[in-house]
Amino acid sequence: MLLFSALRDRYLADRGAGGASPAIAAALTAIGWRAVREPTPEELAGHVVDLIAECVAEHHDTARLTWQVAALLRAYGPVLDGGLPPVEAYEPAALDVLQRYVRGADD
């Protein structure tokens, strides 16, 4: 579970300290995103930060944010067999990225 208050606090602290992109990129790297090659974790992090900003400023719904990040991972992930699983299959990875970001854990 991802607590909105923890996400908001981390995002606001990062905003004052130069931005959340480096921490999001580290979380994406920790889940193995570098194996995808394109986009890089640093490039994808910018998109995730935009989604977090929208969550913090507007809808406050971490389940919606998790689904949006899952959809992003699905959209940019590799197509190995010509097909893709549903967005819901990417939700555990999306939640992992967000939790790592909030915890500050990149391992």
pLDDT tens-place values along the chain, 107 residues long:
899 999 999 999 998 778 899 999 999 999 999 887 789 999 999 999 999 999 999 999 999 999 999 999 999 886 555 667 888 989 999 999 999 999 986 44
Cα distances (angstroms) measured from residue 25 to each of 40, 46, 50, 58, 85: 8, 9, 13, 23, 24
Cis check: omega of the bond before 78, within 30 degrees of 0:
no
Within 10 A of 21 (CB to CB), how many other CB atoms are there? 18
Domain positions in the chain: 4-103
Rounded Cα distance between 24 and 105, Å, is 10
Rounded Cα distance between 26 and 54, Å, is 21
